[in-house]
Amino acid sequence: MGSGELVRSLHAANLIDEYVLQIHPIVLGSGTRLFGTADRVDLELVRSVPTTTGVIIAHYVARR
């Protein structure tokens, strides 16, 4: 099981309380969706940090 599959499984089971995402300043145009077709989960941004390379590190908590 790869990390994407693990995240999707944990997300589907409602077992993730926090998400820390690295957002890179490029557009690929295609690829596998991180959460697939999972049910909607509302997130609250608690912190974001821009890096010198343009990457944004975004920390979210799940609203339940």
What is the count of structural domains for the chain?
Answer: 1
Structural domain harbouring 9: 3-62
Half-sphere exposure of residue 24: CA atoms within 13 angstroms, side-chain side? 3
Distances (CA, A) of 19 to 12, 30, 38, 42, 62: 14, 22, 15, 11, 8
Per-residue pLDDT tens digits for 27-58: 888 877 777 776 778 899 999 999 999 999 99
**How does strand 56-62 pair with strand 43-50?**
antiparallel
pLDDT tens by residue, 3-28: 878 888 888 888 999 999 999 999 88
